[in-house]
Every structure is written in C-alpha cells, then in structure tokens.
Amino acid sequence: MKELQGKTAVITGAGSGLGRAMALAFSREGMNLALADVDEAGLSETRKLVGNALTMRVDVSRETDVQKFSDQIQDPYVVCNNAGVSPLGAVWENSVGDWEWILGVNLWGVIHGVRAFAPRLIAQNGGHIVNTASVAGLISPPGSGAYNVTKHAVVALSETLHHDLRERGSAVGVSVLCPAYVPTGISDSERSRPAGLSRAALSEETKAKQANLKKAVASGRLTADDVAKAVVAAVKEDRFYILTHPRIKGAIEARMRDILDERAPRDPLRLGS
C-alpha cells in the first residue's frame, strides 16, 4: 500500500472535470499538487477549491510546455497524464486539423508526460504514473475513430511502460484509467481547440451522435469524484487497470472473442440489441 501523505501529485487537464476531481481527491490524501491546463480560468478555480497548488498553463501537445512544467516541480510522486479532447466523426470525415488536435493532446500529451516524468520517478525508484485512456481504448465504437485511435494507443503505451519498468527492476507503478460515460467537460472540448487547426464540417449523423454523447455523458451514473476515488485507490494498491464501469466488460470480452474467432467485429454499442 503506497503512502501518499506529503508527496506531490502532478495532474494535467486539471481545470475541469476528471482532472479537477483528481486534484480534490489527492488533496484529501494530504498530497501537494502541481496542476496544468490550457484553460487558465478553470485552473484558477481548481486552485481555489484545493486551497494551494502550483499551477501552470500547459499545452500538453507541446513538449517544451510539458518539460517547463516538469522543471517547476520538486520530487513528483504521482503523475496523472489526464488532459483529453474528443472530436467526433466518421474516420473519413475528420479533418487533418481534427487528427492533429486529438493526437497532439490525447496521445502526444501522454508521451510528453511519460518522457518528462518517468526518468525522474525511476531515479528515485518510486512513484506512480496514471494515464487516462477510456473504454474506447479497449473497444472501438463507431463514430469516434480518431478518439478510439488515441485511447487504444494510450492503453498500449501504458501496458508497454509497465513491462519496460518491470524489466528494468523499477518500483515505479503504472495505471491506465478506462472509464465509460462520466459527467465531465470532455464533450465540450471544442472550446480548447487551438486556432489554426481546421474543424471538419459535421454531417447530420455526427451532429446526432454528438447530441447523444452529451446526453450519455450528462446522465452517467458515476461522477467524476467517483472515478477520482477509484484512481486514488488504484495508486495505493499499485493496480494497473482501472475499469470504473463493470458492465462494459461484456463488450470488451466480445471484442476479444471476435479477435480470437477471427470474425468481423461486432458493434459494441449494439451487443444487447
């Protein structure tokens, strides 16, 4: 069981949603906080809620931003690579700007976080890295191909990071967080799209899916606080997979069965229909 009191938790995407909930949860454990987000107003609000924290505007898609953030932090212990965005659309409809944006935040953000912090945790032979993926990293729902690509990549990166650390005899832990629908701000992530990255014109099908996603996210039974508590528990227990929604395991199992049986994948959103 890892002791967290007095140690430092690093969280990206801390200006709202799950990142803010993680900040509050780790604060309740008596940890010091280093928080990052592109949303400075949201970050300021999170800082007010947790009392005191090092905060910095960071675009996680930029290596220099993440490295400057790391340089400001003494003795990081828990590192949560959490920032994420979610443009929707059929894979042929997403613009190059859509792909650059989501790959930059969801995948390169995690890569930059691992590269900046993992060597420091390895050097102190202790700590824990939490990478936020999604159940979309374990199944492949239609209409969110770009998002699925990034989240599958984060799961693969995290699993390999775990193996690499064990191979080197390191005590650094790794967890990958794979939640389903949780009421957070990710369905409104367009507000943080950088200027200059083109957005695809949305088809009527994608507009309908976007509306349905917002409803599903808003009606999620688990809250961001529930998921944050699960993250804290996983870090303490040194547990790798964080699956917050047990009912999704049927869809994960169905995907694995389709692979093993070498048949076309079933739509994970229609398995019960």
Note if the pTM is more than 0.85.
yes
Q: How far apart are CA 252 and CA 239, in angstroms?
A: 19
* pLDDT band for position 214 (cuts 50, 70, 90): low
Catalytic residues: 147
53-69 confidence digits (pLDDT tens)? 999 999 999 999 999 99
175-209 confidence digits (pLDDT tens)? 999 999 755 555 455 555 566 555 566 666 655 55
Q: How far apart are CA 96 and CA 200, in angstroms?
A: 8
Length of the chain, please? 273
Bridge partners of 88, per DSSP, are: none
What H or E segment, with its residue span, contains residue 259? helix 249-260
Q: How far apart are CA 243 and CA 105, in angstroms?
A: 22
